[in-house]
Amino acid sequence: MKFLAAILALTFSLQAFAQERELEYEGAANWNDFRKYVLTQQELDQQKGLGYIISGTVAAVGGAIGFYQSEEVFSRTAFAITSNIGLAAIGVGASYYWTGSSVDSFFYAIDGSSLSLAEKNEVLQRYLDKEREEKENRRWIRVVTYGLIAAANLYSASQEKSADVQSVFYFLAGANALLAVSYSF
């Protein structure tokens, strides 16, 4: 059971890191409002990045120290997972802090251009329409992907002879089914 708990923690932790940051702007195609939104998001991204870097460092160092001071296999495994998640968090934090999001590139290309405000608003409207369409497509791709992973694990569980391995496959099937359902809303 401890093993399943470790897999659960790892599965959902890695899922959180794997998420692509998407445009959350829901306002109208008004360049001045969008500009305020992007500049605020950049500040928040830097704060979030610093938080990930600090907490990731604590987890990586703590996990490494715990790993080398522990003798029990489960504890060493848990500390190794913690350390790895910490290292991944440092990378995610660095990405937030130094690169922001893909919206930043669009923003700076348009903001620094010689386009009039009306032209910026028109380009912004086209960009927002395309981003919303792609966001919906990504959502359904995730639903199908996690649904297929759940089905594959369910099939593997039905074919497995070992009860311990079978329970791991059932667990993975359930976790991925939950992820598929969560993206369908």
Residue 9: per-residue pLDDT: 54
Q: Rounded mean pLDDT of 85-97?
A: 94
Residue 31 in domain: yes
Residue 124 in domain: no
Positive or negative: CA dihedral 116, 121, 123, 124 = positive
Residue 96 in domain: yes
**Statement: residue 18 has pLDDT above 90:** no
Residue 17 in domain: no
Average pLDDT in the chain: 89
Residue 110: per-residue pLDDT: 97
Residue 2: per-residue pLDDT: 54
Residue 118 in domain: no
Distance of CA 184 to the CA centre of its chain: 17
Residue 159 in domain: no
pTM: 0.68
Residue 181 in domain: no
Residue 132 in domain: no
Domain that residue 104 falls in: 25-113
CA dist 47 and 95 (Å) reads 12
**Statement: residue 15 has pLDDT above 80:** no
Percent of the chain past pLDDT 70, that is, above it, reads: 89
Give the DSSP letter string of the chain. -HHHHHHHHHHHHHHHHHPPP-----S-S-HHHHHHHHHHHHHHHHHHHHHHHHHHHHHHHHHHHHHHH--SHHHHHHHHHHHHHHHHHHHHHHHHHHH--HHHHHHHHHHTS---HHHHHHHHHHHHHHHHHHHHHHHHHHHHHHHHHHHHHHHHHHH---HHHHHHHHHHHHHHHHHHHHHT-
Q: Which amino acid is at 36?
A: K
Q: Rounded mean pLDDT of 147-173?
A: 93
pLDDT band at 10, cuts 50/70/90?
A: low
Tally the domains of the chain. 1
pLDDT band at 62, cuts 50/70/90?
A: very high
**Statement: residue 16 has pLDDT above 70:** no
